[in-house]
Amino acid sequence: MSNDKNDATFSGSSAGSSPKGTPSTGTQGYVDRGGPLPDTYNDTLIVLLPRDPQWIFAYWEISDKTREEVKNKYGANILQRSKPAIRVYDVTNVNFNGANANRSFDIFITPEAKNWYIYVGMPKRNYCADLGLLVDDGVFITLARSNVVATPAGGISDIYDEQWMLVKDDFEKLMKLSGIDKIGASSAEAMRMLTQRLESILAVSSKGGSGVGALKPGTKKGFWLIADAELIVYGATEADAMLTVQGKPVKLRPDGTFSLRFAFPDGELDIPIKAMSADQSDSRQITIKAKRHTK
């Protein structure tokens, strides 16, 4: 667990004002580059951020005013009689009032820390946290309450397809006339499928057949059917891994998932999928084989 050990201590001191920026002048104008950000804003708060399905990140600050108020209320030695802690609440499907969480647990933090990675271990849940002091008699003194965050799902998304926008009006009209728009395809795939349709129609027409589209002007089109198939391949690996599919690099989503659509004509289709770790010390390979026969 990696935590910041270089910030001001829990009992720290008041933050001074930011140094005045050093102006930069030149022939083209005047630029005030400002000063460095302060180490503290002298506020009391805690903020949560989801990192992945099982971890959340917290950062916080405690003002001098809050420290003095705690000492005045609980005694000057309260910091010696207590431990700084974060109390984490699972508030999934709960209108949280401070006492009705699904579950809660405490994490003891070092006095000098200002941020912490928290293992919650459960995806698709809602969490919030209290920053406070756990006194030796078991009383928890709340100093600040965080926002509510949701951890993402821990598996591959069930949304595995992209919505593609077609920008050419004529091409869209051809797709609708052919029925391909009811199937859903990328621009390149749709063009390939449309070309195959037209080639088959022209072939039937040249032989005097009655295929779709081989109708004379003014002739009513009869009952017809279009059916085709595509192959969707999806999976997941480490988010920083290098992935290739059929020898071509594939960009992973931020959570390490991927999904691809393949044309699936009659015949056999081999799809080798290889993932290599970021340091290239380990790799895994899966090959998907599919066979199609249309009657």
Give per-residue pLDDT as tens, 29-82: 566 666 676 677 788 999 999 998 889 999 999 999 999 999 999 999 998 899
229-295 folds as Immunoglobulin-like (2.60.40)
What does the alpha-carbon distance between residue 95 and residue 10 come to, in Å, rounded to a whole number?
Answer: 31
What is residue 136's predicted lDDT score, i.e. its pLDDT?
A: 84
What is residue 17's predicted lDDT score, i.e. its pLDDT?
A: 35
Q: What percent of the chain has pLDDT over 70?
A: 64
* DSSP, residue by residue, the chain: -----SS--TT--PPPPPPPPPEEE-SS-EEE---PPPS--S--EEEEEEEETTEEEEEEE--HHHHHHHHHHH-TTTTTSEEEEEEEEE-TT----SS--SEEEEEE--TT-SEEEEE---SS-EEEEEEEEEETTS-EEEEEE---EEPPPSS--S---PPPPP--HHHHHHHHHHTGGGT---HHHHHHHHHHHHHHHHHHHHTT---TT---TTPPP--------EEEEEEE--TT-EEEETTEEEPPPTTSEEEEEEE--SEEEEEEEEEE-TTSS-EEEEEEEEEE---
Q: What is the separation, in whole angstroms, between the first and last Cα of the chain?
A: 59
- Per-residue pLDDT at 189 exceeds 90: no
Q: Looking at domain 38-150, what is its CATH homologous superfamily?
A: Immunoglobulins (2.60.40.10)
What is residue 158's predicted lDDT score, i.e. its pLDDT?
A: 57
Q: For 129, how many CA atoms within 13 A lie in the half-sphere containing its CB?
A: 30
Sequence-distant (6+) residues with CB within 8 A of 29 are none
33: left (phi over 0), alpha (psi -120 to 50) or beta: alpha
What does the alpha-carbon distance between residue 38 and residue 18 come to, in Å, rounded to a whole number?
Answer: 6
Query: Can you tell me the mean pLDDT for 194-210?
Result: 50
Per-residue confidence band for 286, with pLDDT thresholds at 50, 70 and 90 = very high
What does the alpha-carbon distance between residue 177 and residue 269 come to, in Å, rounded to a whole number?
Answer: 29
What does the alpha-carbon distance between residue 82 and residue 78 come to, in Å, rounded to a whole number?
Answer: 6
Is-contact 50 151, C-beta < 8 A? Answer: yes
What does the alpha-carbon distance between residue 208 and residue 35 come to, in Å, rounded to a whole number?
Answer: 82
Do 38-150 and 229-295 have matching folds?
yes
> How far from the centroid of its chain's Cα atoms is residue 232's Cα?
21
Task: Name the one residue in this structure whose structure tokens are 């108020």.
Answer: 69
What is residue 21's predicted lDDT score, i.e. its pLDDT?
A: 47
Query: Can you tell me the mean pLDDT for 226-255?
Result: 87
Average pLDDT, the chain: 76
- Per-residue pLDDT at 152 exceeds 60: yes
The domains of the chain are located at: 38-150, 162-208, 229-295
- Low-confidence winner among 9-13, 69-73, 178-182 (lowest mean pLDDT): 9-13
- Note the pLDDT tens digit of each residue in 81-116: 999 999 999 999 999 998 999 999 999 998 889 999
What is residue 207's predicted lDDT score, i.e. its pLDDT?
A: 42
Per-residue confidence band for 6, with pLDDT thresholds at 50, 70 and 90 = very low
What is residue 50's predicted lDDT score, i.e. its pLDDT?
A: 92
What does the alpha-carbon distance between residue 189 and residue 228 come to, in Å, rounded to a whole number?
Answer: 12
What is residue 230's predicted lDDT score, i.e. its pLDDT?
A: 79
What does the alpha-carbon distance between residue 115 and residue 129 come to, in Å, rounded to a whole number?
Answer: 13
Is pLDDT larger for residue 211 or for residue 61?
Answer: 61
- Per-residue pLDDT at 28 exceeds 80: no
What does the alpha-carbon distance between residue 44 and residue 60 come to, in Å, rounded to a whole number?
Answer: 7
What is residue 140's predicted lDDT score, i.e. its pLDDT?
A: 94
What is residue 41's predicted lDDT score, i.e. its pLDDT?
A: 76
